[in-house]
Structure 1
């Protein structure tokens, strides 16, 4: 109870990010940019989930790895439960037009949960190994390593045919399309989604260094001053 009382903002942020990503990842971007059909490359979830690494790195830097891991566990549990319930509720309310079957939602939740735990815990481990180095190196290295693992685990479990026993395959994701949405070589759409997702994660990880630096620069001096009063 004390943990939630003192760290509710980090838990809430993590929960909302993962929940939004779990819903948005089921929707390809049906947007045409010249010859490129973004539905062959990206889902909307790719724009949301990378910010989970920012929450983890901030919590890790401000409160240490023990609290960061607890935020990951709590946010994960809450988000997975909500990810199973919320899409159905949104569809029933008419707020989204795409209904996903219960088995498919469960598979997405399993994929998301597994990838989330592995990637976020790896992020915490790498961050603390490099914490005493230059300010940007720890969050950059941890976010990159976590992003690679997260993409591999999530898209593999969620869309690869070999994991059919966890839930039905997504026919649209398995259809062949141009690799990266442009090349003559074709591959299952989920493979291009994974590559596009990883590229966007890395781009956002670089962008997230700015708010990371600003927040750490504002909060740490205040906390240190309060400690020596």
Structure 2
């Protein structure tokens, strides 16, 4: 295992753990602090993909998935004021969204590897981020998917409120998803800077 891969594994695990902790703390009305740390997982995946190829990136994604799953299981066993700090639906949504979104990111990046340097990380992250947001918030909070775990009360997430406080009335979870998605898209653009810095002077897999 090279030093870069080892650092990538540590970085992915740290991001997943930090995001699972920070998601419990609100940032404003529509976000949590975890919304700002989780998208860094896509940067780690893309850097490893560029430097070491899709196979290595997928292995690191699986490690991140296992770490996230462990965090979620632990969270379901910790009882807060309103019940478990991580409901079963949130745990399922988080795990599936991470795995599907990150593996999609790896595949899209690989398909665009030979194009301009910014194209692969930008397109793959945009697609992966969109999948992640759609899957997580739907699985975790949509009333239409309550059959996943009927005992989980998501009625609070169905409250009709103006979209982000200014738009048409939508379920609360939709505003949360849109805000989260907007942060991911913004960070996808910002992440191009560190991506370029970390990959431009090192040997890359073509």
TM-score by length of 1: 0.79
- Contact map agreement 1:161 1:169 (CA 8 A) in 2: no
**1:151–1:198: 8 Å Cα contact kept in structure 2?**
yes
Q: Which residue number in structure 2 is paired with residue 178 of structure 1? A: 162
Shift of 1:169: 2.9
Of stretches 120-129 and 7-16 in structure 1, the one that deviates more from structure 2 is 7-16
Q: Cα RMSD over matched residues? A: 2.6
| Among 44, 48, 68, the residue aligned to 1:59 | 48
Q: Identify which range, 140-149 or 102-111, moves more after superposition.
A: 102-111
Tell me, in whole angstroms, the C-alpha distance in 1 between the residues paired with 2:181 and 2:140.
15
Asked if the contact 1:23–1:45 (Cα under 8 Å) also holds between the matched residues in 2, the reply is: yes
Q: Which residue pairs with 1:138 in the alignment?
A: 120
Match of residue 189, structure 2, among 174, 192, 206: 206
Report if aligned partners of 1:84, 1:105 keep a CA contact under 8 Å in 2: no
Q: Which residue in the other structure is 1:9 paired with?
A: 7
Counting matched residue pairs gives: 203
Q: Any gaps of 5 or more consecutive residues in structure 1?
A: 32-38, 92-97, 225-229
Report the Cα distance in structure 1 between the residues aligned to 2:145 and 2:86, rounded to whole angstroms: 12
Structure richer in helix, relative to its length: 1
**Structure 2 partner of 1:151:** 133
CA contact (8 A) 1:130 1:138 kept: yes
The match for 1:20 among 18, 21, 39 is 18
Equivalent residue for 1:36? none
Aligned equivalent of 2:92, options 110, 117, 128? 110
Q: TM-score, normalised by structure 2?
A: 0.87
Q: Which has the larger radius of gyration?
A: 1
